[in-house]
């Protein structure tokens, strides 16, 4: 779901067809859902709210009254060989910490459809609501919880490939999970670890291939290097700096050479300049993740501990829950 960033995902096609979305959906053994409204557009497909025609209880789970329905046209590039690639990723990750549940899936008419838990606003939405600025305490809570979510994702052998404010969502407003952080949109996820051998994938570089979002992509992604764990963390660093400062030094470039110019600016901007007006932990985090080797295993606990001094000591006052971070590292965070 896209919260409205002006940066377009490069290497991802537009919607494959103008075929209208059906008024009702039933896939697999799901209930019948009536389409209510559009939530947004992700890197792959479109997302709508679906409401059960009858029955149902609760706000999440397979019996929820409202769900998120992700549609992908069967003629889209990622469906050349059947169901979308994203389905394979969800098969491997369903139940992974911080990843929304997929309850049903199937083909209806011209669309492959995922039935997922409804979530709340994205960090992009929250940032806009807060006047396009975010406190260091809130950004630090986001940092430690996002690192924890990425650790669980990486442990499953995947990298996300498109970490940005629009792809982090909170739980539904007014629910028990409204302060819980989730990571969505797995269309650009890839394996950093071979599923059969368990070994790290080999290094490769294709300068003509770029996958991700220009504003937040790692320098390695710009250079066409195959994705690894360091890239998700570098994108997270840019995300955090953006949320605090409201702008990154490379915003504003346009035209065919935009990606090249952004990459050049990222490479030439020092951490000191990039993180001016940010508390020191954000600069420290940026320096660590931008100096990681291709196959280096991140020290997630150490990365989380970088932000310890910025975390609100009173659990009830934290704007974002940090349940996952508390399980990764034993710190002085009050629990």
CA distance 323 to 67: 24
Domain range annotation of the chain: 24-117, 121-330
Report how far residue 279's alpha carbon sits from residue 302's, in angstroms, rounded to the nearest whole number: 17
With tokens 């990750």, the residue in question is 93
Contacts of 196 (CB under 8 A, 6+ apart): none
Mean pLDDT of 268-297: 98
CA distance 292 to 234: 9
pLDDT of residue 229: 99
pLDDT of residue 3: 45
Q: Write the pLDDT tens digit of every residue in 47-84.
A: 999 999 999 888 899 999 999 999 999 998 888 888 99
What are the φ/ψ torsions at residue 152 (nearest 5 degrees)?
-65, -40
Question: Which member of 117, 125, 162, 185 is catalytic?
Answer: 162
Residues 6+ apart with CB under 8 A from 6: none
CB-CB contact of 188 with 164 (8 Å): no
DSSP secondary structure, 105-119, as one string: EEEETTEEEEEEE--
Distance CA 23, CA 34 (A): 6
121-330 in CATH: which number?
A: 1.10.510.10
pLDDT of res. 12? 43
How far the first Cα of the chain sits from its last, in Å, is 32
pLDDT in tens, 110-119: 999 999 999 9
Q: Which residue matches tokens 């020290």?
A: 299
- pLDDT, position 333: 58
Positive or negative torsion for Cα 65, 71, 74, 79: negative
In angstroms, the CA 326 to CA 269 distance is: 33
| Model confidence band, residue 45 (pLDDT cutoffs 50, 70, 90) | confident
Which residues does 77 contact at the CB level (< 8 Å), separation at least 6? Answer: 13, 16
24-117: CATH topology is Phosphorylase Kinase; domain 1 (3.30.200)
* Angstrom distance (rounded) from CA 105 to CA 27: 6
Q: Tens digits of per-residue pLDDT, 310-329?
A: 999 999 999 999 999 988 76
Asked if pLDDT for residue 217 goes beyond 60, the answer is yes
- How far is residue 7's CA from residue 124's CA, in Å, rounded to a whole number? 13
Question: Is 179 labelled as part of a ligand binding site?
Answer: no
- Please give the share of the chain, as a percent, with pLDDT higher than 70: 92
Q: What angle do CA 145, 151, 153 make, to 5 degrees?
A: 105
Q: Is 162 designated active site?
A: yes
Q: What is the pTM of this model?
A: 0.92
């Amino acid at each position: 779901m896209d919260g409205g960033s002006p940066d377009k995902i490069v290497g991802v096609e537009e919607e494959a067809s103008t075929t209208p979305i059906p008024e009702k959906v039933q896939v697999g053994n799901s209930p019948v859902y009536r389409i209510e409204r559009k939530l947004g557009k992700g890197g792959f497909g479109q997302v709508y709210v679906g409401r059960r025609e009858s029955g149902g209880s609760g706000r999440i789970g397979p019996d929820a009254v409202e769900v998120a329905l992700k549609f992908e046209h069967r003629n889209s590039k990622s469906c050349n060989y059947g169901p979308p690639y994203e389905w394979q990723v969800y098969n491997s990750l369903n139940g992974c910490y911080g990843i929304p549940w997929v309850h049903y899936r199937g083909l209806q008419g011209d669309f492959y459809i995922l039935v997922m838990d409804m979530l709340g606003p994205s960090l992009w939405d929250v940032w806009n609501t807060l006047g396009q600025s975010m406190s260091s305490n809130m950004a630090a809570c986001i940092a430690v919880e996002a690192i924890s979510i990425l650790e669980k994702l990486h442990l499953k052998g995947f990298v996300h490939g498109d970490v940005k404010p629009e792809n982090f969502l909170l739980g539904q407003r007014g629910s028990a999970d409204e302060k819980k952080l989730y990571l969505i949109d797995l269309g650009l996820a890839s394996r950093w670890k071979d599923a059969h051998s368990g070994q790290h994938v080999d290094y490769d570089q294709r300068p003509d291939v770029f996958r991700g979002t220009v504003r937040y992509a790692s320098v390695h992604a710009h250079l066409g290097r195959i994705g690894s764990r360091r890239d998700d963390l570098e994108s997270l660093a840019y995300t955090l700096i953006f949320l605090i400062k409201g702008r990154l030094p490379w915003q504003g470039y346009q035209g065919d050479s935009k990606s090249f110019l952004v990459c050049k600016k990222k490479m030439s901007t020092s951490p000191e300049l990039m993180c001016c007006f940010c508390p020191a932990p954000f600069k420290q985090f940026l320096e660590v993740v931008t100096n990681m080797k291709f196959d280096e295993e991140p020290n997630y606990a150490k990365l989380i501990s970088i932000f310890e001094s910025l975390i609100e000591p009173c659990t009830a006052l934290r704007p974002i829950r940090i349940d996952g971070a508390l399980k990764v590292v034993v710190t002085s965070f009050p629990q």
